[in-house]
Copies of this chain bind each other. A is one copy, B any other.
Amino acid sequence: MSIADIIGFTAAVICSVSMTPQVIKIYRTKKTQDLSLGAFSVLATGLFLWFVYGLLIHSIPVIAGNAIGASFTLYIIIMKIRHG
């Protein structure tokens, strides 16, 4: 594994889990007013495509990372629709 691979892998892991504090905050406060439904909808689409890309290249880290990221984003979208 090259330095580039390690940095790329770390970047993927960090981005995948990045919305965890946002999910926790929404779970606690049930407040989503300042969040943009458009932004998280676009993000969910992108993460889903990354997930499909992972399936096509048979990369477990890409599949797993983006499945987690897409699930978090979907939770944010559902809470945004529910709480406005």
A binding-site residues for B, Cβ under 8 Å: 3-4, 7-8, 10-15, 17-22, 24-26, 29, 31-40, 42-43, 45-47, 49-50, 52-53, 56-57
Contact = CB atoms under 8 A, between A and B. Distances in A.
Q: Oligomeric state, in number of copies? A: 2
A42 B13 CA distance: 11
Contacts of A21: 36-39, 42
Nearest to A83: B34
A4 B35 contact: no
B49 A10 contact: yes
A37 B11 CA distance: 18
Contacts of A34: 25-26, 29, 31-35
